[in-house]
Structure formats: C-alpha cells, structure tokens
Amino acid sequence: KSVIAFIEDPDGYKFELIERGPTPEPLCQVMLRVGDLDRAIKFYEKAFGMELLRRKDNPQYKYTIAMMGYGPEDKNAVLELTYNYGVKEYDKGNAYAQVDI
C-alpha cells in the first residue's frame, strides 16, 4: 500500500520517495548504503545511542538491511543501513539516493 515516486534535484541527484501510512514524524526513514554492516551498526549505537531494531538478510537479492532507531519503527524515524553483498565502497559524488560516509 505504499506509493513510490522518484524525483531529481537541480544538480541531477535522484531520490526515491515512499509514502506510507500516517506516522508522528514527517520523515520516517532514511537509507544509507554501507560497506561494512557490523561496523556501521556499532558506529550508530555508540555515536548516536541508536539501537538495532531488526536485521534482515535477503540472499536472493544479495543484500542485508539493519534498521536502527530510538524506538518502534511505526512511531519513530529510523535509519536503514543496507549492505549489498561484495560492495565495500561507493563512488563519492556519483550516488543514486545514497550518502557515502
């Protein structure tokens, strides 16, 4: 029941927007692609006090996600960390709805 749209900013960067049911937060989810999922989880736990809400491996699509946040996903904004199998780094400045940290 999600509505998905793609937009492009004036600099040519593309973003995916997903409309979901009503939530208390105007921004409910941000996705970052990471090269080392376990290291990224530890970083967000230590640096921001986030907790790992859930982790899901998707071998058929060759990626694993970890949802990080401060409480239940349906009531708080969450950070989705996505690890694509075999990808250790991303090109800086040439991202598709990604932020390279």
Contact 31, 80 (CB under 8 A): yes
Q: How far apart are CA 89 and CA 87, in angstroms?
A: 6
Q: Which residues are catalytic?
A: 16
**Residue 42: which residues within 8 A CB-CB, separation 6 or more?**
none
